[in-house]
């Protein structure tokens, strides 16, 4: 997981982010200081008497020397190239290790090259490539689709997250789906799958994502006016945390809207820090000692206490509202609270806390990082921009259901994730001995490491142009999206533990990219960050060092149906109708010049969930439309009443086309609203 990058110019472009450096220095300092202290004691106190006194007169010294020599011989014999706690495996290949410490230096010292090293090792040694780490055991690389199908599906029960992952993350994730195994995992998966397929869930995410993207576009607009360079990944991290806080518990974190202030919401900080520390633990076999020596263990306890106080507080409040029959929300918490298993058992407070927190972490960094890499690839491959614009202007705004129609945007996402998967490597532990396809023997307790990053860069899987960013590889001859087997493309994992949020994440990414590139030309801020300086930071996930620095220029195409979108939003948000007009009026006047949409909207249907005061809606619509660039005349009908509005003749430029709408008609029947726009320009 990653810390939130501030919108500050990266002072050290080619090194890890500040936080990483600090943590790394702490880690190295603590590990080496332990070593130095022991060495010093040995050299200072034990060695001089041993070598200065005559051994014959000093039988204890002889015993000590003999014991040391015996120990060295034993270690050399037992751990010739492998780490303590592992057995020699001459049948396996891999980079040379050292007695006792195995390949520790590679793991500790490789930093931002960790994934390249995994790739090189695989390309050099192939299947059966392995390394050993003290107290971490033996890690065997598995990167063929057949081997992956074996461990993630055919022999699924033999490969678990295990104690290693549980120890690292249980303080933060509790018994959530990410670190659960066996029956505990099966139960959580069943509950979560049930919620993720519910239509209430899909409606909820569409509303929240559309709201948040509007906030993001406003911020981009202010950057387009000032011409300032900014870190777009910082905005993505803020936005995805806001989205998840709303979706999970209907809370506003305001991370995005507070983007210019140095204050970061305290709870958001606790969540980030707790997640970041779990991440650090995966890279430091001595994390327990390090945290004890640096006092970090106390910090984690405090962050987790803050998170728990917040989570249990919300759950208690929600239970009370349910008892008082005041609960109307449909966020994840409510959906999970309403869940009953086959014995009619509801979820406990602890289960609810773990579920909610696991989802916040699952969905936040992943989509923020995926959006960042995707923009980087689009900017690096400018030939992608024309087809992207063409598709955006041809299709209406994506919805959860229609996102698949955006074939080119989907292909861009898949291609970007192939080269930069946001969960680049995963580890499982074998419970029993097993033989992998290809004949590699796995012994009980061995760890299996498979890497979507490595697999996405293998010519034997993707062909000779594997390193080229080519979205077309995802589009078939009929212009439809091509799907690949998840065992060949394990970016969202594969088998029974495949990512539950894949459709959700893809929807988010399709909306982010199409709305941003529709409204702005995005350029890399080369004076702040050159293309060749972009690289990933060492992490469990796949953050970009220092974030991605860009400038944006408004595409200045006038909006027609965006105004209608706003009317829908207002109507749908009718419970807030008294509050929203002014806010939305402001939004409209700023967005009007900003948000281009295609001129082809012909009909949209909306379902109003709650009974609204029609008079109010109409007044509001009138207000909105009066501010907008309007057609000559339009009609609004609600139930039995019908209103006709006329305005002066109008027309506007839409990407070089003169666009004229003859008529806009808004109808309402049984609370089903329809807006007809008759476009006469074609």
Residues flagged as binding site for heme: 499
Strand pairing of 447-450 and 137-141? parallel
353 counts as binding ligand HEM under rule CB under 6 A: no
Beta carbon nearer to ligand HEM, 219 or 413: 413
* d(C-alpha 120, C-alpha 114), whole Å: 10
Residue 451 makes contact with ligand HEM by CB under 6 A = no
Q: Which residue among 352, 500, 540, 625 contacts ligand HEM (CB under 6 A)?
A: 500
242: CB partners within 8 A, 6+ apart = 212, 215, 252, 253, 254, 255, 256
Cα 580 off chain centre by: 31
Q: Which of 422, 455, 594, 620 binds ligand HEM (CB under 6 A)?
A: 422
| Residue 136 in the binding site for ligand HEM (CB under 6 A) | no
Residue 540 is a binding residue for ligand HEM (CB under 6 A) = no
Kindly state whether residue 202 participates in binding ligand HEM, applying the rule CB under 6 A: no
Tell me the C-alpha distance between 170 and 181, whole Å.
Answer: 12
Please select the residue that binds ligand HEM; options are 27, 274, 361, 491, rule is CB under 6 A.
491
| Residue 237 or 492 with smaller CB distance to ligand HEM | 492
Q: Which of residues 171-200 bind ligand HEM (CB under 6 A)?
A: 177-178, 189, 192
Beta carbons within 10 angstroms of residue 555's beta carbon: 16
Q: Please, what is the minimum distance in Å from the beta carbon of residue 528 to ligand HEM? A: 26
Q: Which stretch binds ligand HEM (CB under 6 A): 120-128, 263-271, 357-365, 376-384?
A: 357-365
Element at 114 (helix H, strand E)? helix 114-125
CB of 20 to ligand HEM, least distance (A): 22
Name every residue whose Cβ is closer than 8 Å to that of residue 665 and which is 6 or more positions away in sequence.
634, 635, 636, 637, 674, 675, 676, 678
Grouping H, G, I as helix, E, B as strand and the rest as coil, residue 444 is coil
Smallest distance, Å, CB 253 to ligand HEM?
16
Asked if 504 interacts with ligand HEM (CB under 6 A), we say: yes
DSSP bridge pairs for 667? 674
Structure tokens at 226: 């000032």
DSSP tag of 560: S
Q: In the chain, what is the greatest distance between 2 CA atoms, to the nearest angstrom? A: 115
Separation between Cα atoms, residue 285 and residue 107, nearest integer Å: 9
Indicate whether 336 belongs to the interface with ligand HEM (CB under 6 A).
no
**Is 370 among the residues that bind ligand HEM (CB under 6 A)?**
yes
Stretch that binds ligand HEM, among 32-40, 339-347, 385-393, 487-495 (CB under 6 A): 487-495
Q: Indicate the annotated binding residues.
A: 499
Two tokens, residue 329:
């929300």
- The token duo for 107 is 């793991």
- Least distance CB 344 / ligand HEM (angstroms): 24
Interface segment toward ligand HEM; rule CB under 6 A; list 23-31, 58-66, 443-451, 488-496: 488-496
Residue closer to ligand HEM by CB (options 223, 507) is 507
CB-wise, 177 or 255, nearer to ligand HEM?
A: 177
Q: At what angle do helices 162-173 and 349-380 cross, to 10 degrees?
A: 100
Query: Alpha-carbon distance 586 to 595, whole Å?
Result: 14
Report the distance separating Cα 69 and Cα 503, nearest Å: 61
Is 372 a residue that touches ligand HEM (CB under 6 A)? Answer: no
CB of 296 to ligand HEM, least distance (A): 24
Which stretch in 44-52, 362-370, 527-535, 606-614 sits in contact with ligand HEM by CB under 6 A?
Answer: 362-370
| Edge-to-edge strands, sheet with 447-450 | 130-133, 137-141, 447-450, 426-430, 159-160
The verdict on 170 binding ligand HEM (CB under 6 A) reads no
Closest to ligand HEM by CB, 144 vs 541, is: 541
Q: Pick between residue 542 and residue 597 the one whose CB is nearest to ligand HEM.
A: 542
The residue from 497, 515, 551, 584 that contacts ligand HEM (CB under 6 A) is 497
Q: Which of 103, 169, 231, 493 binds ligand HEM (CB under 6 A)?
A: 493
Which range of residues in 42-50, 58-66, 126-134, 494-502 is near ligand HEM by CB under 6 A? 494-502
CB 544 within 8 A of CB 536: yes
CA dihedral for 257, 606, 657, 585, sign (positive or negative): negative
Residue 229 or 500: which CB sits closer to ligand HEM? 500
Q: Does 19 bind ligand HEM (CB under 6 A)?
A: no
Closest CA to 61 of 73, 46, 74, 72: 46
Q: How far apart are CA 418 and CA 462, in angstroms?
A: 10
Options 132-140, 248-256, 454-462, 501-509: segment touching ligand HEM (CB under 6 A):
501-509
| Shortest spacing between CB 422 and ligand HEM, in angstroms | 5
DSSP string, 241-293: HHHHHHHHH-----TTTTTTSS---HHHHHHHHHHHHHHHHHH-TTHHHHHHH
Question: Is 412 near ligand HEM (CB under 6 A)?
Answer: no
Asked if 366 interacts with ligand HEM (CB under 6 A), we say yes
The one among 499, 550, 636, 675 contacting ligand HEM by CB under 6 A: 499
Select from 403, 426, 539, 554 the one that contacts ligand HEM (CB under 6 A).
426
Q: Taking the CA atoms of the chain, what radius of gyration do you get in angstroms?
A: 29
Q: Is 568 in the site for ligand HEM (CB under 6 A)?
A: no
Size of the site for ligand HEM (CB under 6 A): 22
CA-CA distance, 649 to 629, in Å (whole number)?
Answer: 10
Decide: 384 and 374 in contact? Cβ < 8 Å: no
Q: Closest separation between CB of residue 505 and ligand HEM, Å?
A: 4
- Among 144, 284, 367, 539, contact with ligand HEM (rule: CB under 6 A): 367
Q: Does position 384 bind ligand HEM by CB under 6 A?
A: no
CB-nearest residue to ligand HEM: 501
CB of 401 to ligand HEM, least distance (A): 17
Q: Which stretch binds ligand HEM (CB under 6 A): 7-15, 94-102, 497-505, 528-536?
A: 497-505
3-state secondary structure of 646: strand
Residue 269 Cβ, how far from ligand HEM at the closest point, in Å? 21
Residue 678, number of CB atoms within 10 A of its CB? 13
Q: Does 368 bind ligand HEM (CB under 6 A)?
A: no
Q: What token pair was written down for 308?
A: 């728990």
The count of C-alpha atoms lying within 13 angstroms of the C-alpha of 301, restricted to the half-sphere facing its C-beta, is 6
Which 8-state DSSP code applies to residue 81? S
Q: Which of 353, 286, 368, 360 is nearest to 318 (CA)?
A: 353
Q: Binding ligand HEM by CB under 6 A: which of 492, 536, 562, 568? A: 492
* CB environment 90-116: b (16+ within 10 A), e (fewer): eebebbebebbbbbbebbbebebebbe
Site residues (vs ligand HEM, CB under 6 A)? 177-178, 189, 192, 359, 362-363, 366-367, 370, 422-423, 426, 491-493, 497, 499-501, 504-505
């Amino acid at each position: 997981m990653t810390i939130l990058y501030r919108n500050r110019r990266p002072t050290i472009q080619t090194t890890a982010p500040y936080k990483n450096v600090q943590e790394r220095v702490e880690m190295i300092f603590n590990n080496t200081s332990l070593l130095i202290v022991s060495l010093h004691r040995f050299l200072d106190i034990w060695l001089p008497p041993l070598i200065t006194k005559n051994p014959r007169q000093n039988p204890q010294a002889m015993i000590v020397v003999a014991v040391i020599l015996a120990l060295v011989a034993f270690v050399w014999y037992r751990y010739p190239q492998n780490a303590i706690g592992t057995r020699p495996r001459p049948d396996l290949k891999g980079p040379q290790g050292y007695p006792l410490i195995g390949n520790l230096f590679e793991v500790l010292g490789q930093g931002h090259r960790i994934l390249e090293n995994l790739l090189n090792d695989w390309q050099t040694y192939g299947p059966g490539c392995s390394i050993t780490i003290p107290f971490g055991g033996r890690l065997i690389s598995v990167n063929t689709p057949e081997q992956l199908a074996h461990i993630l599906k055919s022999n699924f029960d033999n490969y678990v997250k295990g104690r290693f992952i549980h120890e690292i993350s249980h303080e933060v994730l509790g018994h959530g789906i990410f670190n659960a195994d066996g029956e505990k995992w099966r139960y959580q998966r069943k509950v979560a799958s049930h919620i993720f397929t519910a239509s209430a869930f899909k409606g909820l995410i569409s509303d929240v994502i559309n709201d948040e993207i509007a906030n993001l576009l406003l911020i981009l607009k202010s950057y387009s006016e000032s011409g300032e360079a900014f870190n777009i990944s910082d905005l993505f991290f803020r936005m995805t945390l806001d989205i998840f806080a709303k979706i999970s518990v209907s809370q506003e974190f305001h991370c995005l809207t507070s983007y210019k202030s140095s204050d970061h919401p305290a709870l958001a900080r606790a969540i980030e820090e707790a997640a970041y520390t779990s991440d650090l633990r995966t890279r430091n076999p001595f994390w327990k000692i390090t945290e004890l020596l640096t006092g970090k263990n106390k910090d984690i306890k405090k962050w987790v206490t803050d998170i728990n106080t917040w989570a249990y507080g919300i759950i208690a409040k929600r239970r009370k509202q349910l008892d008082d029959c005041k609960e109307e929300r449909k966020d994840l918490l409510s959906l999970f609270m309403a869940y009953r298993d086959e014995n009619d058992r509801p979820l406990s407070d602890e289960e609810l806390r773990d579920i909610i927190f696991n989802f916040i972490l699952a969905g936040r960094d992943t989509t923020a990082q995926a959006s960042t890499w995707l923009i980087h690839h689009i900017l690096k491959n400018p030939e992608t921009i024309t087809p992207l614009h063409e598709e955006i202007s041809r299709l209406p705004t994506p919805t959860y259901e229609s996102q698949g129609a955006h074939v080119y945007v989907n292909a861009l996402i898949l291609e970007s994730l192939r080269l930069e998967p946001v969960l680049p490597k995963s580890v499982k532990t074998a419970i029993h001995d097993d033989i992998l396809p290809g004949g590699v023997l796995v012994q009980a307790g061995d760890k299996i490491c498979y890497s979507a990053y490595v697999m996405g860069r293998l010519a034997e899987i993707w062909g000779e142009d594997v390193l080229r960013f080519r979205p077309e590889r995802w589009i078939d001859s009929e212009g439809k999206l091509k799907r690949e087997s998840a065992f060949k493309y394990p970016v969202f994992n594969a088998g029974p533990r495949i990512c539950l949020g894949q459709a959700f994440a893809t929807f988010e990414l399709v909306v982010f990219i199409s709305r941003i590139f529709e409204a702005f030309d995005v350029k890399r801020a080369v004076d702040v960050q050159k293309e060749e300086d972009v690289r990933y930071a060492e992490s469990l996930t796949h953050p970009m060092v220092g974030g991605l620095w860009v400038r944006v220029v408004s595409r200045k195409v006038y909006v027609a149906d965006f105004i209608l979108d706003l009317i829908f939003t207002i109507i749908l948000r009718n419970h807030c109708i008294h509050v929203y007009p002014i806010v939305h009026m402001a939004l409209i006047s700023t967005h009007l010049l900003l948000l281009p949409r295609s001129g082809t909207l012909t009909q949209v249907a909306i379902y109003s969930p709650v009974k609204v005061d029609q008079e109010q809606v109409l007044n509001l619509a009138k207000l909105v439309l009066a501010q907008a660039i309007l057609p000559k005349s339009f009609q609004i009908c609600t139930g039995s009443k019908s209103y006709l509005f006329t305005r002066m003749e109008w027309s506007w430029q839409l990407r070089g086309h003169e666009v004229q709408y003859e008529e806009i008609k808004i109808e309402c029947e049984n609370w089903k609203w329809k807006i007809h726009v008759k476009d006469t320009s074609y």
